[in-house]
Amino acid sequence: MIQSNKGKASDAERLNPLAMTIEEAAHVARLSRSTIYLALRDGSLTARKVGRRTIIRVEDLRQFLAALPAFESQRVDGDV
Whole-number pLDDT of residue 13: 60
| Domain chopping of the chain, boundaries | 17-66
Q: Residue 9's pLDDT is what?
A: 64
In the sheet where 19-21 sits, what is the strand order?
19-21, 53-57, 48-50
Determine how many CB atoms are found less than 10 A away from the CB of residue 16: 9
Q: What is the pLDDT along the chain (80 residues), one digit of tens a residue?
A: 455 556 566 666 667 899 999 999 999 999 999 999 999 999 999 999 999 999 999 999 999 999 999 999 888 776 65
In this predicted structure, what is the pLDDT of residue 78?
A: 65
CATH classification for the domain delimited by 17-66, as one of 1.10.30, 1.10.10, 3.30.980, 3.40.1350 = 1.10.10
pTM of the model as a whole: 0.73
